Structure 1
Amino acid sequence: MNDPNFGVAVPQHTVPFPSSISDAARAALERLVRADGSVLNAAFVAPSPDDLQAWLHVKTQVDGQYAVAVNALAGQSGSTVETLTGHGATIHLATPRTLTDEGRAYIDFHGGALVFGGGEACRVGAQMQADQNGVKCYGVDYRTPPEHPFPAALDDALSAYRYVLERHRPEDVVIGGRSAGGNLAAATLLRARDEGLPFPAGLVLLSPQVDLTESGDSFETNWLVDLVLPTRLTSSNLLYAAGADLSQAHISPLYGDLSGFPPTFLQSGTRDLFLSNTVRMHRALRRAGVSAELHIFEAMPHGGFGGGTPEDLELQHEISRFVQLRWPKQDAQETAPITSDGRNQN
């Protein structure tokens, strides 16, 4: 049968929250639905991709919400942060109170559907990564649409990567991002190869938005089941691409040549709208001969449960473990242990 809409007819039903997750995770999910079971976040309707004024208005509102949410998650940071400009990209350089190694660096690309999440949220996110990994974190505050569509964000990402490589050896650098940031982290490596730049020591992709065509299975199976990201991002994807082919590798890195990529950490959840993005990227990396870890968390929506649930802390610990393993060997007395919350003990 050639009908693209043919499939399994699922009777209307309620998807309950499982007992297989922590009480804190279950409470986090329950806060995202109304008493009748409808999804709070599903009420948002994205503007048309050609309504730039509407997108500017939405962007201002959402950026403010992101800043509040990230500040709440970050708590009291022990890192200092300075904003660097004039290097082809705006970078928030966060330095932890105690560095495990002056030469090591983490490059962080924030999430936000390739439109939101810049400014204050990006700055605080860099501090969180510096605290967690005990190294300098370069948070890339890349330009976003509607003012700056593709390839502006990727140009900024590559500029930031060049800046970091001028100050750190590639084997001392790990690059990562969540959601839209995962897109840019992977696309940056594709551009880096085009430019003859070396790859970093590791890559961290957290529920990465690596396929803007949204062709994966979970875009149907987790529609409205993911309480954080309940519906597709079609409009913002088209806004970002600005007429470019959504399947080209620099826009959807899933379709790029991934050979030679560094060891990669991938994470998603069984209720994540981007679950298919993540598992397909993992398989593509493995087919390319790349060492890749895939971590799927029970009932976790896009971006995690939030609020320090046991599952979120376990994920932080796994990321810290992976990042620490990417660095060149240190003397035992120089290696700081990782605590149960995933942060460097120093």
Structure 2
Amino acid sequence: MNITLRQIRAFLAVAEVGAFARAAERMHLSPSALSTLVKELEEQIGLRLFYRSTRVVQLTEAGAEFLPLARKALEDLEAAVAGSRALAEVKRGRVTVAASIVIAATLLPWVIQSFQQRHPGIQCILKDGFEETIRDQVRRGEVDLGVGTLVEGEPGLTEVTLYQDHLVALVPDGHPLAERGAVTWRELAKHPLISLSDQSPSRALADAAFDSVGLRPVPAHVATFSSTLISMVAAGMGVAALPVNVRQLSRRTGVQTRMLVRPTVKRNMGVYSRSDAELTPAANAFLKHMQAFVKSKGSLPDEAAEAAAH
């Protein structure tokens, strides 16, 4: 069968007004064109839908049965078109973002909140977890976007830079290094070191910095999450090197942060998406909003604004 939308509209117009001439006026067609559409529909169905006379047009039994079905088909199609337009116009939809625990706690809540003020019909789902798993989540299509440390040459991924930040030393209140304005990597290595697992991109940056000055310190303790590491530093178990955005979490726990120098280690933070799939309208709108949000700097919460400014 090859029933068209115009044929269904023509049938419904005749059924509703009971006359071909008036139905043709409603559809801005000539009576003969409208009659042709109805005839084509009857041929497709194989049954007459109307009794025609010079005075009146009435539905046949088949036409009466077909009428509610035709109305529902038209309503369903119009609803589908309206839904698709809403998606395209970012009036509804869903976007899923994966990020490390620190980024999820220090940047994305403010991004999501401001995004949903503009797009209240979009549902935003934030998946916080291990940074080292973000890329695979994006590749597998489990999330639309991933936010984390950019690594050059990642296969299957498109990268967009958001900002650049740097590593800082974390020391407990009252620690000798807390009296310094900045801390060198050699100075940091003289104290018990608490590190993230060796799969962490931040750990890789710290190891490379130590290696650049001829040091390979063995961590006294290893933690999986940055939040755990911060508490371990606060408990006096050692010192650590983490990205500057942890200051928003550490300042309430009795932990001081100091700039790490010689060398200063910077990293590029950005967004991952699949290179073999087009972003949904909702995900694309969220990405653009996040870029604008970070670029504005002043609207970022405290340390995240400072990180974006570097």
TM-score, normalisation: structure 1: 0.25
Q: Could you say which structure has the larger radius of gyration?
A: 2
TM-score, normalisation: structure 2: 0.28
Structure with the larger RCO, 1 or 2 (CA within 8 Å, 6+ apart)? 2
Kindly indicate which of the two structures has a greater share of residues assigned to helix.
Answer: 2
Kindly indicate which of the two structures has a greater share of residues assigned to strand.
Answer: 2
